[in-house]
Amino acid sequence: MPSGSARCLRALQAAAPPTLLVVGIVTLWEGACRVFEIREFVLPAPSLIAWHFARSFPLYLGHTWVTVQEIVIGFLAGSAIGLIMAVGIVQWRALQRSLYPLLVLFQTVPKAAIAPLLILWFGYGILPKVVLVAILAFFPVTVDGILGLRSIEAPLIDLLRSVSASRWQILWKVQMPHALPHIFAGLRVGSTFAVIGAILAEWVGANAGLGYLIMSSAAELKMDRMFAGIFAASVLGVVLFYAVDLLERWFLPWHQKVDLQTAIG
Amino acid sequence: MRTRSTKLCVLALGVLSLVAAAGVVAQAAEMDRVKVRLDWVVRGGHAMFFVAKEKGYFKNENIDIELIHKGNGSVNTMTLVGKNEYDFGFGDLPTLAVAKSKGVPVAALVVVNQRSPMALVALKGTGVRMPKDVEGKVMGVHPSGSTYIFYQALMAANGVDRKKITEATVPVPYESFLLTRKVQLITGYIDAEIPELEAKAGGPGSLEIVLGADYGYDLLGSGMLTSEKMIKERPDLVRRFTRAYQRAFQDVLKNPQEAVEILAKHNPEVVEKKDVMLKQLDADIKYTFTSDDSKANGLGWNPPKKWQATHDTLLKLNVIEKAVPNINSLYSNDFLK
């Protein structure tokens, strides 16, 4: 068992490189803005953005809340649809042949082009935003879900069949638990797409939310507000990503997830 | 003997043509090459650039138009001209004032729309004759940019209670929301999308149009602009460019038909929209290209009072956060003389 201070030291060691990198980049940015006298409309200095962010913090809270609602509803709906599709495609060969190619085709449709259409079809409330979030979020869940459900060895399924386990028993008791790590990988990717979907939908037609804030600030050349909005959206994305991560730890205590950083390192 | 003289002849010809070619190259090198950026896809009001090019007005001023790029909004035109990526631009003048208040070093040279071409539009039978009629209706808005400024300022100028309006946020193009009756009213430009919309809504008389300029909306429309650097460092080029542009502006006023033909010749993508572009120009000639002010002071004149009004309205709406200290810095009338 490591002692408390040792653990603290290790945490510090882990946090040091990313912190130093961020501080370095921000310093370089600030320095460049001052030394080269870069005009605000080209690139505002980080100090200016931070000052604006701090000064009008409630503004960001309000808009972030609007975006959060769209993301959460859309992400939940998209993930559910993605999972159902994965199960369907794995269970029925006909669906795999018919639906899967269509899904891939649909995924390549430029979403920025269909965003305005969604608003024409679904009105100017929250619905088109939720739909776009769901459209962006479902695909990685479907793909990873299929991968996960298929990851179980064929002899094991044969064995289960030999003891006359039903198709649904195999799905619920063996395939699904086995697929969960894959599904969570899909959810994590989907969560970052969900943020993009919400911002994009608000960009084309909304009167609140971070996407609206970024778009309207750009139209009025309020660059400090625009960058602060982008920053808030990024923070939101990171929070959502780690929320899914936390959910996975809680859901799958038995699964020793390979940490991305240790995997790379 | 004969072959020899032929050879000599060919040689002489070759030398002559080389000299001539060199002369052409030298002349081209002496010409000032300029880049132009528009605010959006090509429409009738952009004709001056193309007419001046086609009829050699730029060439007479020793200017070679290297390129004319279409734009994606006036904001980007302002910042790109301000950064000197382009030498001249065309864009929304209220947006120029906003850009200026943010330190973008641009200035207007020619006011093309002396009166704003912006209007409220509804399908026939909606019952909109004046701004006050918008109360109780569903209005399609996009809460950013020039159309939103127009909407807010027009409602304020006419004492309209915005609480009585259902404001629906819709993306461009607003027209599809009007045609599918998702909204009852939208904002639009009489010299851009309204003629196209009218064609889709059932031809002349199928729309109710309330021109903002008739109801106290006194902001300027669009115009031709350049950067402060150009004015300071190359005033002679700015003068020559403006002179050629103004000559073309006169031609467009007198002969919009010819202007549309030239537009179509230089922009193959709009060939099938020739009649719409003619209607765009007709609307401009009738309502926006001239005013009493410009008739007294000259075509394209920058009216100081209207610039002040444009700036003050934007300041009141908080689109401009910090007042521009010197309104005269928004434009220059020096090159029109």
**Type of residue found at B311:** H
d(CA B221, CA A170): 69
Residues A210-241 pLDDT 10s: 999 998 898 888 999 999 999 999 999 999 99
Low-confidence ranges of chain B (pLDDT < 50): 1
Q: In the predicted model, is pLDDT for residue A265 greater than 70?
A: no
Task: Mark yes or no for CB contact A221/B102 under 8 Å.
Answer: yes
Domains of chain B (ranges; CATH) run: 31-114+220-330 (3.40.190.10), 118-215 (3.40.190.10)
> Who contacts A29 (Cβ-Cβ below 8 Å, separation ≥6)?
A43, A45, A46
- Of B82, B103, B168, nearest to A124 by CB-CB distance is B168
* Of B172, B113, B176, the residue nearest B145 (C-alpha): B172
What does the block give as tokens for B115?
Answer: 């009166």
What is residue A138's predicted lDDT score, i.e. its pLDDT? Answer: 95
Residues B214-236 pLDDT 10s: 999 999 999 999 999 999 999 99
Q: In the predicted model, is pLDDT for residue A12 greater than 60?
A: yes
- Of A124, A205, A219, nearest to B75 by CB-CB distance is A219
* Of A219, A214, A215, A227, the residue nearest A50 (C-alpha): A227
Q: Is the bond preceding B173 in cis, omega lying within 30 degrees of 0?
A: yes
Which residues from chain B sit within 8 angstroms of residue A212, using beta carbons?
Answer: 143
What is residue B72's predicted lDDT score, i.e. its pLDDT? Answer: 87
Q: What is the 3-state secondary structure (H, E, C) of chain A?
A: CCCHHHHHHHHHHHHHHHHHHHHHHHHHHHHHHHHCCCCCCCCCCHHHHHHHHHHCHHHHHHHHHHHHHHHHHHHHHHHHHHHHHHHHHHHCHHHHHHHHHHHHHHHCCCHHHHHHHHHHHHCCCCHHHHHHHHHHHHHHHHHHHHHHHHCCCHHHHHHHHHCCCCHHHHHHHHHHHHHHHHHHHHHHHHHHHHHHHHHHHHHHCCCCCHHHHHHHHHHCCCHHHHHHHHHHHHHHHHHHHHHHHHHHHHHCCCCCCCCHHHHHC
Distance to chain A for B82, nearest Cα, Å: 10
What is residue B8's predicted lDDT score, i.e. its pLDDT? Answer: 58
Task: Mark yes or no for CB contact A115/B171 under 8 Å.
Answer: yes
Question: Which of A124, A213, A223 to mutate against chain B (most B CBs within 10 Å)?
Answer: A124
Task: Mark yes or no for CB contact B75/A123 under 8 Å.
Answer: no
Residues A63-112 pLDDT 10s: 999 999 999 999 999 999 999 999 999 989 899 899 999 998 988 999 88
Domains of chain A (ranges; CATH) run: 56-264 (1.10.3720.10)
- Of B103, B145, B170, nearest to A119 by CB-CB distance is B170
Distance to chain A for B29, nearest Cα, Å: 32
Q: Which residue has the tokens 């010809």?
A: B13
d(CA B55, CA B46): 15
Which residues from chain B sit within 8 angstroms of residue A207, using beta carbons?
Answer: 141, 143, 167, 169
What is residue A165's predicted lDDT score, i.e. its pLDDT? Answer: 87
Nearest CA in chain A to B139: A124
- Of B73, B78, B177, nearest to A120 by CB-CB distance is B177
What is residue B1's predicted lDDT score, i.e. its pLDDT? Answer: 45
Q: In the predicted model, is pLDDT for residue A157 greater than 90?
A: no
**Rounded mean pLDDT, A179-190:** 95
Task: Mark yes or no for CB contact A218/B75 under 8 Å.
Answer: yes
- Whole-complex ipTM: 0.73
- Of B103, B104, B170, nearest to A124 by CB-CB distance is B170
What Å distances lie between residue B114 and A19, B14, B289, B303, CA to CA?
55, 55, 6, 8
Task: Mark yes or no for CB contact B102/A40 under 8 Å.
Answer: yes
d(CA B35, CA B66): 6
Average pLDDT, chain A: 90
What is residue B64's predicted lDDT score, i.e. its pLDDT? Answer: 97
